[in-house]
């Protein structure tokens, strides 16, 4: 920024979030300068679509489709990548780093797969890569792990990190409607994509959990290593039963550190619908909101709540990254050593805890012929596998084809034992559909 009195920002990708970034930089320019002491100026925008009206005045900003030119522009200190997707975004970020530009991105999918390459290139070049907006939208959760809680050995992370699924779950609970109906409405309202698969199947949450696990535990993993279940297959009866059992259903990304006596560490990571206690803070997170609960060995339980998506909340996080980097650029101290909270040399591929080894209470929805003795049979198989029953609920009489749902809350058991029992139970003649298992998390 020699010869200039401002730090310059180039924006690539002028969609919803990009428009939010333009709005925030424009309308809060005064506050930002009161915090920085100099202007943070958007100097250039690149997008293939240079004609659509985004409802913001960019007549004084150079705006074309030349992202290579933007990267090469001397007045650009920081490149904001809001293109999304893999190939183009990856090249854009690596080219920016190669040109000595700092990078801000919200692209969790990219970082969850190519993080090692991107952070490695940035470290080599001595530039910053910041990505607060990639997890939890406007919630400063990455910064809190990297800075606010960094005196702690992090013990666990539990996050509601996908607004679309949380909206769908909240609506299903409230209305008693089927998943398809609610997803359709979410699409009509703009809360769900035309193809909602990445959200509904938990993949987006797994992308975010990959980044959280790196920041919390220094664990290097890619998102496809995370056992992931989406919310498909949940039915209105699950929500009714959860309520009667004193719980609510949330799609959680969960990461825990397991230390053994010799100091060895294994990491438990998983994404799935989860029963959480009705009185817990996570249970109170409704609609499209997000929250991440973090437990540290010193601080104990904490929770961070806010909008997980949307134009302005996400822009809030992008601009916070811009402000942080701008300050460093101005000081001449930019070139973050530990973007993932741990030094790159300390990130290691820690062994993962197999799902069969985890232990907890389970909600089981059996679908069985409505005939005397069936419950006794199911209970006896559970007993043989040393799974205790805490509560049983049988909803009405046969709903379809002579079958009824039988809902059981177990005492704590190992998942391997649950799976063995379910294999036997699901093969019984009287059991007419595969049993649905939902894990329960305590102490939230």
From the list 101, 208, 250, 350, the catalytic residue is 208
303 lines the binding site for a second copy (CB under 8 A):
yes
Q: Binding a second copy by CB under 8 A: which of 56, 72, 99, 312?
A: 312
Positive/negative CA dihedral, 152, 132, 198, 235: positive
Residue 217 CB, shortest distance to a second copy, in Å, is: 10
- Options 323-331, 359-367, 389-397, 405-413: segment touching a second copy (CB under 8 A): 323-331
Closest CA to 92 of 12, 188, 174: 12
- To the nearest whole angstrom, how small is the minimum distance from the Cβ of residue 323 to a second copy? 5
Residue 277 pairs in a beta bridge with: 247
Q: Is 197 helix (H, G, I), strand (E, B) or coil?
A: helix
CB count within 10 Å of CB 184 equals 14
The pattern of x and - marking residues 198 through 237 that bind a second copy according to CB under 8 A reads --------------------x-------------------
Q: How far apart are CA 426 and CA 433, in angstroms?
A: 7
Residue from 177, 231, 176 nearest 203 by CA = 231
Q: Which is nearer to a second copy, 310 or 405 (CB)?
A: 310
CB of 18 to a second copy, least distance (A): 14
CA distance 379 to 381: 5
CB distance 253 to 442 below 8 Å: no
- Which tokens belong to 57? 């005045």
User: CB of 144: closest distance to a second copy in angstroms?
Assistant: 5
18 lines the binding site for a second copy (CB under 8 A): no
For a second copy, how many residues bind (rule: CB under 8 A)? Answer: 62
Nearer to a second copy, 346 or 423 (CB): 346
420 binds a second copy (CB under 8 A): no
Dihedral (Cα; 410, 245, 291, 236), 10-degree rounding:
100
Number of neighbouring beta carbons within 10 Å of residue 13: 25
**Identified binder of a second copy from the candidate list 84, 227, 301, 360, rule CB under 8 A:** 301
Active site residue 208: yes
Residue 19 binds a second copy, judged by CB under 8 A? no
Among 2, 3, 5, 34, binds a second copy (CB under 8 A): 34
393 — phi, psi (to 5°)? -140, 130
272, two tokens? 């799935």
Backbone CA torsion sign across 117, 118, 120, 125:
positive
- Binding test (CB under 8 A) with a second copy, winner from 52, 91, 98, 153: 153
**Cβ closest to a second copy, residue 315 vs residue 409:** 315
Beta carbon of residue 416, minimum distance to a second copy (angstroms, whole number): 31
- The three-state DSSP-derived secondary structure of 210-273 is HHHHHHHHCECCCHHHCCECCCCCCCHHHHHHHHHCCEEEEEEEEEEEEECCCCCEEEEEEEEE
| Contact pick of 202, 306, 339, 405 for a second copy (by CB under 8 A) | 306
Contact 106, 317 (CB under 8 A): yes
29 binds a second copy (CB under 8 A): no
User: What's the token pair of residue 249?
Assistant: 């259903």
Minimum distance of a second copy from residue 343's CB (angstroms): 5
Candidates 76, 109, 149, 254: give the one binding a second copy (CB under 8 A).
Answer: 149
Could you give the CA distance from residue 31 to residue 9 in angstroms, rounded to a whole number? 17
Binding mask 346-365 for a second copy (x = CB under 8 A): x-------------------
Binding site for a second copy (CB under 8 A): 20, 23-24, 27-28, 31-32, 34-37, 132, 138-140, 143-144, 147-153, 218, 279, 281, 284, 291, 296-307, 310, 312-313, 315-320, 322-324, 331-333, 337-338, 341-343, 346
Q: Which residues are catalytic?
A: 208
């Amino acid at each position: 920024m020699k010869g200039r009195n401002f730090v310059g920002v180039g924006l690539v990708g002028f969609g919803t979030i990009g428009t939010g970034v333009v709005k925030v930089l424009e309308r809060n320019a005064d506050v930002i300068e009161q915090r920085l002491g100099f202007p943070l100026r958007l100097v250039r925008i690149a997008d293939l679509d240079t004609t659509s009206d985004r409802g913001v005045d960019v007549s004084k900003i150079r705006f074309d489709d030349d992202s290579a030119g933007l990267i090469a522009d001397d007045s650009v200190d920081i490149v904001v990548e809001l293109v999304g997707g893999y190939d183009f975004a990856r090249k854009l970020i690596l080219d920016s780093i190669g040109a000595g530009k700092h990078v801000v991105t919200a692209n969790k999918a990219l970082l969850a797969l190519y993080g090692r390459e991107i952070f490695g290139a940035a470290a080599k070049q001595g530039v910053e890569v910041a990505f607060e907006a990639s997890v939890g939208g406007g919630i400063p959760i990455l910064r809190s792990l990297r800075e606010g809680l960094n005196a702690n050995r992090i013990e666990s992370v539990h996050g509601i990190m996908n607004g679309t699924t949380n909206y769908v779950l909240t609506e299903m609970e409230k209305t008693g409607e089927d998943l398809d109906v609610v997803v359709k409405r979410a699409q009509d309202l703009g809360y769900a994509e035309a193809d909602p698969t990445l959200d509904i199947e938990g993949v987006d949450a797994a992308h975010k959990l990959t980044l959280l696990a790196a920041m919390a535990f220094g664990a290097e993993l890619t998102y496809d290593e995370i056992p992931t279940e989406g919310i498909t297959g949940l039915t209105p009866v699950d929500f009714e039963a959860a309520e009667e059992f004193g719980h609510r259903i949330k799609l959680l990304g969960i990461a825990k550190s397991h230390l053994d006596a010799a100091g060895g560490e294994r990491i438990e990571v998983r994404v799935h619908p989860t029963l959480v206690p009705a009185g817990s803070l996570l249970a109170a997170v409704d609609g499209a909101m997000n929250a991440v609960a973090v437990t540290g060995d010193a601080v104990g339980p904490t929770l961070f709540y806010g909008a997980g998506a949307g134009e302005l909340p996400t822009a809030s996080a992008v601009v916070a990254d811009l402000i942080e980097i701008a300050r460093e650029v101005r000081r001449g101290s930019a070139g973050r050593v530990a973007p993932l909270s741990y030094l790159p040399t300390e990130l290691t591929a820690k062994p993962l805890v197999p799902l069969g080894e985890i232990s907890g209470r389970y909600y089981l929805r059996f679908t069985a012929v409505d005939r005397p003795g069936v419950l006794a049979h199911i209970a006896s198989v559970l007993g043989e596998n040393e799974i205790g029953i805490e509560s049983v609920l049988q909803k009405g009489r046969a709903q379809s084809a002579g079958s009824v749902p039988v809902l059981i809350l177990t005492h704590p058991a190992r998942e391997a034992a649950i799976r063995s029992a379910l294999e036997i139970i699901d093969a019984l003649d009287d059991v007419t559909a595969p049993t649905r298992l939902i894990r329960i998390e305590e102490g939230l």
